[in-house]
């Protein structure tokens, strides 16, 4: 029998009965989902071999971040001039993104996207309509990649008298 370490991993035997000395094949599949960075997964193989009843197969993958947002939070102090602030979106080298959509959860903020200084870089200009009152918005950022991935940033106008976050 084979048992993967988590629900994101599946493992299947090419055939269930493998005779002593015979070779067998196990196919393991890891669904990365939204994971990034170093990921370590295991598949436990149970056998009827009294000397080695169990073997743990380990596989390790480094999953690149598709999109790096800097910063992920832009803010304005109360009554600060409502000038645009910039979020830089950098796409991983091995990925091609031609277009990026950004939608604000609030009509109190506008967001527009333009090409950055280098290939794979985008400038997201965020601007509040008003800084005289506290405002919040979530920016939903969608690069044109398949499968579709969604990223988020936040924009806020701070209440009067609030220290910088």
**pLDDT confidence bin for 119, thresholds 50/70/90:** confident
Q: CA 15 → CA 45, 155, 163, distances in Å?
A: 13, 55, 64
Q: Which of 73, 120, 72, 80 is nearest to 100 (CA)?
A: 120
Q: Quick one: fold of 67-157?
A: Immunoglobulin-like (2.60.40)
Give the CA distances from residue 42 to residues 6, 39, 57, in Å, rounded to whole numbers and listed in that order. Answer: 8, 10, 5
Query: pLDDT tens digit string along 26-52?
Result: 998 888 877 888 999 999 998 888 898
pLDDT for the residue numbered 47: 87
pLDDT value of residue 42: 92
The stretch 79-93 carries a mean pLDDT of: 95
| β-pairing verdict for 121-128 and 109-115 | antiparallel
Structure tokens at 126: 């965020």
Across 46-69, average pLDDT: 88
pLDDT beyond 90 at 131: yes
- Note the pLDDT of residue 160: 86
Residue spans of the domains in the chain: they are 2-63, 67-157
């Amino acid at each position: 029998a084979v048992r993967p370490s988590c629900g994101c991993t599946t493992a299947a035997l090419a055939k269930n009965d493998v005779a002593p000395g015979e070779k067998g094949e196990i196919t393991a599949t890891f669904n990365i989902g939204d994971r990034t960075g170093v990921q370590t997964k295991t598949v436990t193989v149970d056998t009827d071999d009294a000397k080695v009843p169990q073997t743990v197969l380990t596989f390790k993958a480094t999953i690149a971040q598709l999109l790096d947002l800097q910063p992920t939070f832009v803010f304005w102090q109360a009554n600060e001039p409502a000038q645009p602030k910039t979020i830089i979106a950098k796409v991983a080298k091995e990925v091609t993104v031609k277009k990026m959509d950004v939608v604000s959860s609030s009509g109190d903020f506008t967001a527009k996207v333009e090409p950055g200084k280098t290939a794979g870089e985008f400038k997201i200009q965020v601007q509040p309509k008003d800084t005289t009152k506290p405002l919040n918005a979530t920016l939903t950022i969608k690069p044109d990649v398949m499968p579709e991935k969604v990223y988020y940033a936040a924009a806020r106008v701070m209440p009067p008298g609030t220290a910088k976050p």
